[in-house]
A and B are shown apart, each in its own frame.
Chain A
C-alpha cells in the first residue's frame, strides 16, 4: 500500500507482466466441463483463489456451432477462477465472443510453452505462465533461492527454473517452479513443481507437510492430513507414468 508522493497527473498507464492460469478447453459444454473440474479439484471448490484465467480454444476436439458463454463463465467463477481473455480462437467463434467482454488475445500474445502434460481424463490442462517474457535462455535458468521463510499468502514462481527454499514455507503459501522444488525445512502450503507441464520435475524436502503437491499438473491433496509415515520427514515426490496412467509417488528420502 505504499503510495507515491503527490502525483502531477491523475492517471498513468504502466506495463506489467502477470501470471495467469490458462485453461485449455477440449470441449465447451458446461456440464461436461463442470464434471471434469469437479473431478480435478477433488471436491475443493475453493482450490483456486480468483486467479486471472485465459481460456485457450486452440485444442478443441471439434469447433461447435454455438458456445454457451454465460454458462462457461459462470462455471469458472464458481470454481473461483476469473476468465479475463481468450486465445487461439477459431474464426467461426469470434462473433459469439463479442458479448462476453473477454479480451481476445492476438496469436502469440502469450509466450509459447512446451506442450502441456497430458491431464487425467482428458480434463482441461491447468498451467501457470507469464505474459510476454523473453524466451528462455541458458542464462535465465538460474535457480531461485529464497532465504527467508515463505509465509501464508505469499507466492513465489520460479520461471524456467528450480527453486530452493532455505527456511521452509508455511501453510497457505504457494510455491510454483517450472523445475524442481528443494526445501530445507518444513515444506507446507501448496507446492507445484513442473509448473508448465514438466513431468520430470520433482519435489524434495527435509520436512514434509504440504496441503497439496503437484507435478506437471497432476495433483495430490491431503484431506485427512499427511500420513504419519511421511509427515514431518524427509521426502521425495515424483511422477510415475505407467500403463494405468500417471501417479504421484511420495517416498521417504534417506539422509545420512
Chain B
C-alpha cells in the first residue's frame, strides 16, 4: 500500500526541497522503495539537490502529456538503492500539471510498488502547490520559526483541509506533521526567534521534528547531496530522527517520548570556550 506524502509550506525558501530530498533518501535508506516528485514545474531544483541534474532526459510534464513513459522519466538515485526521482520540467509552467495527469502518474507509481511517494511542493498556494497536495495521505508542513512562515503554513493547512482529495471525498483527513527547519537555539534563547513550542502553539498540529540551522545544508545542496548523507552532522541526525518518527506508530506524545527532540537547547558557551574560542 503506497503512501503519498507532500512536503509543503506556503512560503518559499523554508527548506521544502532540502526536506523532500532528505526524507525521501532517509526512507530509502531504511529499505523502503521511494519516489520523489518535483512539482515545482518551471523552476526545477530537486534534481540539483539530489545531484542528478545531468541525467534528466524526460520529466514529469513529458509523462503527463504522454511524450514519455514514466519508467523513462524516473531517475535512479546514485546513493540509495530504493530511491527514484521524477524531475520537473524547466520549460513549462505549472498549468501543465492537470489533476487527471497527476493522478495517473501517482496511480502508476502505486502499481510499481513504491511504498512512499514524496511530493515536493512549490511555494505559494496556487495551482502547482494545490496539485502537489491533492493526492496526499500525509503532509509534512515545513515551517521556519518566524511569524510570516507560520502564517503561510497555517494557510496551507487550511487548503490541505479543503482541497485535498481526502477532504473532498470526506475520507479520513490528511495526517499533518509539523517540521520546523532552520532552527537556531541560540537565537531562540536570545529572544530573536520563535521557539518550537511557540510555533506548535500557533499551528496546533503534531510536531515531527526540529532541524537546526546549519551551514552544512548549503554545502550539501551545492554538492548535490541530500543533507541526510552528511555523516555526523546535526542536520543529518535530525533528519534521520524525523524519518524514524515518521515511520513510528503511536500518538505524537509516545513517538516524541521514544525519540526525544535533539538540537533544540542552547548551552551558553563556558568561560574557557569563550576565551579559547569555539570550534
Partner-B contacts on A (CB < 8 A): 1-3, 5, 148-149, 151-154, 167-168, 170-172, 186
12 residue pairs A–B, Cβ–Cβ below 8 Å: A1-B131, A2-B163, A2-B168, A3-B100, A5-B100, A152-B151, A152-B152, A152-B158, A153-B154, A170-B154, A170-B203, A172-B155
Q: How many residues of B contact A (CB 8 A)?
A: 22
B161 contacts across to A, CB distance below 8 A: 148, 151
Given contacts A1-B99, A151-B158, A172-B151, 9 further A-B contacts (CB under 8 A): A1-B130, A1-B134, A3-B98, A151-B157, A152-B152, A153-B158, A154-B158, A170-B151, A172-B155
Contact with A along B120-132 (1 / 0, CB 8 A): 0000000100110
- A167: nearest chain-B partner, CB-CB: B204
Q: Is the CB of B163 within 8 A of A172?
A: no
Cβ contact within 8 Å between B99 and A151: no
B157 partner residues in chain A, CB cutoff 8 A: 151
Q: B247 within 8 Å of A by Cβ? A: no
A172 to B155, CA, bound (A): 9
B163 touches A171 (CB 8 A): no
B202 within 8 A of A: yes
A171: B residues at CB distance < 8 A: 151, 154
Give complex CA distance A148, B157 in Å: 11
B151 touches A1 (CB 8 A): no
Residue in chain B with minimal CB distance to A154: B158
A2 vs B204: C-alpha distance when bound (angstroms): 27
Instruction: Provide the B137-173 mask, 1 if CB < 8 A to any CB of A, else 0.
Output: 0000000000000011011011101110000100000
Chain B, Cβ-Cβ closest to A170 = B154
Query: Which chain B positions have C-beta within 8 A of A5?
Result: 100
Among A3, A152, A167, which residue has its beta carbon within 8 angstroms of that of B154? A152
Within the complex, the shortest CB–CB distance from A148 to chain B, in Å, comes to: 7
With both chains docked as a complex, state the minimum distance between the C-beta of A214 and any C-beta of chain B, in angstroms. 21
**Which chain A residues border B162 with CB–CB below 8 Å?**
154
Which of A3, A148, A149, A154 is within 8 Å of B99, CB to CB?
A3
Do A1 and B158 touch (CB < 8 A)? Answer: no
Complex Cα distance, B165 from A1, in Å, reads 11
B267 smallest CB distance to A (angstroms)? 30
**Chain B contacts for A152, CB-based, 8 A:** 151-152, 154-155, 158
Is B154 a contact of A1 with CB atoms below 8 Å?
A: no
Q: List the A residue with the shortest CB-CB distance to B204.
A: A149
